[in-house]
Amino acid sequence: MKLYIGIDWSQSKHDICFVNTKGAIQSQLVIPHSQTGFWEFEQRRKRLGVPAKDCLVGLETSHSILVDFLWDRGYANLFVLPPTLVKGSRTRMRSSAAKDDPGDAYLIADILRTDHGRLQAWQPDSGLTRQIRTKVRFISFLTRNIVRMTNRQRAVLLRYYPVAAELFSSLSTLISQHFILAYPTPQAAAALDLDSFRKFARQHRYTHKSKLANILAKLDQDDPQADMDIIDACQDEAQGLAHVLLDMIRLKRDNLKQLQELLDLHPDQNIFASLPGTGVYLQAALISKFGDDRGRFPVPGRVQAIAGTSPVTIRSGKSKYVRFRKSCDYEFRHIVQQWAKQSLRSSVWANAYYARVRPNCDSESHAFRCVANRWLAILWRLWQDHNPYDEMHHLKQRALRSQPR
């Protein structure tokens, strides 16, 4: 006997519904998000007399401690349902827009009962891949906050000390933040000579020594001076942001080093490292999105749809409409668009394809999505075959396919 279990999860509690093969509700309960609640669920399943291996469990996330508990207890038939699938299936139960958590739990169980043959069972990734995924998300979080805080700092500097925002390549560098802490006002920087500046650069391991004279010349320009009251009011904020940014920049740098060490241990690292335009972060980000289970993406169209690079085609009778895919993994789409952009620096065919499609695209992002769509099809094939990318081999294959038959 099979038992279909639908779980409508949340951060604090979970609504659970047990359904038999005929669609009848066997039991319903609400458990807290705690070890006690998890064991309460396990005891309810045991009272129904169905072993864990014969249960099909559906829920809308794989990022929960509840999933770890279910996997450890032998629930091998786990299905992670897209929230859009559950939302689109609500009308099968009622014609109104009403919804509640117990109803969604029953709906998930019933979707498993009727449609599990076309759903992909979820398989957990290795511990190494999950470590990489966690690092990637943390680095992405740090990057977003560094950008946000440097934008704020730039706005403050432009009000009272604009030259400090343009001295070095970026405000998101350690040397820029050290300079703002050491010389927080135009008056403090005015007393700086070349010898003192060289000493400062050596102290903070600035390697572009040939640029020091030009940087110092920027400080000597006759720029407008802010009012002293404004300088006094703004310098504390600029320095406060510098202290925070120094910690965040160092933390990001250290995590990138740790990420490289994890990548060196991953069995698929040679595949992703061979891709043009991928550095440590993009390689790790792509590994975290593809995962370890080759059956998760049985065709390239599946990964292209999740990444949002392939458009949606709507056909009805003689009409045909192609539109932008809104429902996707936005983080994944950003990653592959960045990869497509970087690949133009070193891939011959990617440059040629970009030049061909760009005039027909609405924007540069649209063109990058087109390039990323092609790249994902290539990467899917390499990933399935466990082969690294070879640009020359790819160009030869393209040339053979383009020959007239």
pLDDT in tens, 287-307: 999 999 998 899 999 999 999
Residue closest to 373 by CA, chosen among 284, 301, 312: 301
308 secondary structure, DSSP code:
T
Confidence of residue 171 (pLDDT cuts 50, 70, 90): very high
Q: What is the mean pLDDT of residues 129-154?
A: 96
pLDDT of residue 390: 92
| Res. 318: pLDDT tops 70 | yes
Q: What is the mean pLDDT of residues 109-129?
A: 89
pLDDT of residue 105: 93
Write phi, then psi, for 325 (nearest 5 degrees). Answer: -85, 110
| Res. 405: pLDDT tops 70 | no
Q: With H, G, I as helix, E, B as strand and everything else as coil, classify residue 123.
A: coil
Q: CB under 8 Å to 215, separation ≥6 — which residues?
A: 167, 168, 197
Helix (H) or strand (E) holding 13: strand 13-19
* CA–CA distance, 6 with 243 (Å, rounded to integer): 48
pLDDT of residue 287: 96
Average pLDDT, the chain: 91
Q: What is the mean pLDDT of residues 391-397?
A: 85
* CA–CA distance, 59 with 77 (Å, rounded to integer): 11
Q: What is the pTM of this model?
A: 0.86
Q: What is the mean pLDDT of residues 344-348?
A: 92
- Report the percent of the chain where pLDDT is more than 70: 99
For the chain, domains (ranges, CATH) are 3-118 (3.30.420.40), 129-263 (1.10.287.4070), 270-402 (no CATH)
* CA–CA distance, 197 with 216 (Å, rounded to integer): 8
Do 398 and 283 touch, CB atoms closer than 8 A?
A: no
Confidence of residue 216 (pLDDT cuts 50, 70, 90): confident
Tens-place pLDDT, residues 237-260? 999 999 999 999 999 999 999 999
Q: What is the mean pLDDT of residues 264-280?
A: 95
* CA–CA distance, 21 with 252 (Å, rounded to integer): 51
| Res. 217: pLDDT tops 90 | no
User: Which tokens in the block code for residue 2?
Assistant: 């099979």
Which carries the bigger pLDDT value, residue 336 or residue 211? Answer: 336
Residue closest to 369 by CA, chosen among 276, 302, 304: 304
Pairing of strands 55-59, 3-9: parallel
